[in-house]
Structure 1
């Protein structure tokens, strides 16, 4: 079916407006592209996580988070899960169209060690969020964790041609806010009283990368993820520089 191109509206009076977006059409949904099932990287792969996922993968994820569940789910709306069937039901629920979520399991050495996803998918305006970032201890401080984020950013910008990717997290969750900056997201501010999470008021910190920033950010991801940047023990030779290469105004973060 042919998609309608958004018309350009002429402003008849002296008012400031944004730049013209020529030939704009809504962006495809993440699940509409044949590449969506598996996103393959050098150190990990992302596989769709839904009700059709193999029970072995579900069990691996459940087991990976179990040792740290007492702290791991503090800032999330869901969890901890008492039994694996409860985790399965959560995945099935998030698969509903009303949840507007696409989950991926993160596979390293053929074992599921975390999951990540797209949410708040706005096709009309080319805006999407990367969230539900759940890294088990096996993923902490290794390059697969960075690559998992890169694979989703690459899919959103290069394949689906979205204009904006967001990262939103609990403002008190410094373990989520620091990685956002490290990955090249730019801090935009605090949205006060955004949600009620497990009976508590939640302020959200908002970050983003936009399409014209992605060009340089992608190059830096590729440089850092190159095998030549790691020694035989997997230790990095240089640190990622995504936080410095963006062209937005610097000094706009209050992370301590």
Structure 2
């Protein structure tokens, strides 16, 4: 692509004459093959979620979050009430279609409609959800909403730079690592250097096809073991 310069000989970015601001996320549920995402509802979801989180043997799933773990059902319900009332982050519950139980949450946040930038964050997956097809599908359903329905240009993932599982998940889901913002946040009485990842709209068609191939029932044998990894499905589409 030819380099663009202005009348002063300065390099400038590509023009965007057709760009329109992205849309605000709505309240419509997102339903896939294995799970459904719907807006957090305290009366519908709090008890299921608290039970799912309480099944963990310890509190390590909350180490890199700014809140939790919660010692009582009442304390978690109070937190979830604040989540339900928040327009940004916009919290969603992950529902297992097989049991109709709430087993985790995640959110759309830092919603920047004029620039078409949005972030997935506050991912709190119980151990009933972690490392399942539902966990992957939940992220995929959000991606579909962000790019296909709402018209965003950039989808971000951020985490504590020391959070190795989150960094591994971002790479698996096709996000590109962009760097570390040093001393970006303080939480729970400690420093956080923040690792940044992103997907941009030009990358989405290959990712969409890769996710669809991985999530297809034909990609799993009779024991539920994957035939091809998500990363290999994505890379084949990128190629």
TM-based fold match above 0.5 = yes
Indicate the residue corresponding to 2:80 in structure 1.
Answer: 91
SS of the aligned residue for 1:58 comes to helix
What residue is the counterpart of 2:43 in the other structure? 55
Instruction: Determine the structure 2 residue equivalent to 1:74.
Output: 63
Contact 1:164 1:211 in 2 (8 A): yes
Q: 1:245 to 1:159 in 2, by over 3 A?
A: same
Q: Which residue of 1 aligns with 2:111?
A: 121
Conserved in 1, the CA contact under 8 Å of 2:39 and 2:84? no
Note the C-alpha offset of 1:218: 0.6
- Residues 1:188 and 1:209: Cα distance change in structure 2 (over 3 Å): same
8 A Cα contact 1:116 1:130, kept in partner: yes
- Alignment of 1:176 with 2:176, yes or no, is no
Task: Look up the match of 1:14.
Answer: 9
Give 1:39's aligned residue. Answer: 30
Report how far residue 91 of structure 1 moved: 2.5
Say what the alpha-carbon RMSD is for the aligned residues. 1.9
Quote the offset at 1:246 in angstroms. 8.5
Aligned-pair distance for 1:244? 3.8
Q: What is the distance in 1 between the residues matched to 2:109 and 2:49?
A: 20
Q: How does 1:110-189 map to 2 (within 5 A)?
A: 110-189=100-179
Distance 2:177 2:220 in 1: 29
1:206-225 to 2 correspondences below 5 Å: 206-225=196-215
Distance 2:186 2:195 in 1: 15
**Alignment-derived partner of residue 200 in structure 1:** 190
Secondary structure at the residue paired with 2:55?
Answer: helix
Please, what TM-score do these two structures have when normalized by structure 1?
A: 0.84
3-state SS of 2:59 partner: helix
> For the residues of structure 2 that align with 1:144 and 1:13, how far apart are their CA atoms?
53
The answer to whether the 8 Å contact 1:217/1:245 transfers is no
Counterpart Cα distance in 2 of 1:86 and 1:246:
45
| 1:168 to partner: Cα distance | 0.1
CA distance in 2, matches of 1:56, 1:100: 21
Q: Helix, strand or coil: the match of 2:11?
A: coil
Structure 1 residues 204-256: Cα deviation after superposition (integer angstroms, max 9, x where no partner): 11000000000101100001111110122221111112664697xxxxxxxxx
Deviations 1:66-92 (A, max 9, x none): 233521111110111222232222233
Q: What is the CA–CA distance in structure 2 between the aligned matches of 1:226 and 1:190, rounded to whole Å? A: 35
How far apart, in 2, do the equivalents of 1:119 and 1:136 lie? 20
- In structure 1, list runs of 5 or more residues that go unmatched: 1-9, 248-256
Structure 2 regions of 5+ residues with no counterpart?
none
Quickly say closer, same or farther: Cα 1:204–1:13, change in 2 above 3 A: same
SS of 1:81's partner is: coil
Q: Which runs of 4+ in 1 moved over 3 A?
A: 94-97, 242-247
